[in-house]
Amino acid sequence: MPATVLVVDDDAAVVSPLARFLELEGFNAVTAANGLEALTYLRGGGSASVIVLDLRMPVMDGWFFRREQLRDPAIARIPVVVLSGADQDRVAEILAAAAFEKPYTLSEVTTAVRQLCAGV
């Protein structure tokens, strides 16, 4: 059974190719347009081995999502990979397993996801 990667980003131009690439690499990709959708998915019984997270999104941004995730013991241990076009100086606040600044390559993100899934 392939590992599930939850991709949380409001930009369809980012989400669509990343989700397709992850699926071509053997992962099951699930997408959410913001942190609230991601929390709803996870708290509703959805699973994820890794979360790929944008920081700047409407409704609920990546920082707020991560704080909520860490407060919930059922989902707190899911590692997060941050993808951000800004705020690189604040990425440490997220306690991410990995972080990539846009523009990034799909292969480097997939390599990080694969390594995190192997550790799960």
> What is the phi-psi region of residue 95: left when phi exceeds 0, alpha when psi lies from -120 to 50, beta otherwise?
left
pLDDT (tens digit per residue) in 73-100: 999 999 999 987 766 667 777 888 988 8
Q: What is the DSSP string of 50-101?
A: EEEEES--SSS-HHHHHHHHHH-TTTTTS-EEEEESS-GGGGGGGT-SEEEE
3-state DSSP assignment of residue 48: coil
Whole-prediction pTM: 0.92
The listed CATH number (3.40.640.10, 3.40.50.2300, 3.40.50.300, 1.10.10.60) that belongs to domain 4-118: 3.40.50.2300
The span from the CA of 77 to the CA of 56, in Å, is 22
pLDDT (tens digit per residue) in 43-78: 999 999 999 998 887 888 888 999 999 999 999 999
The domain limits of the chain are 4-118
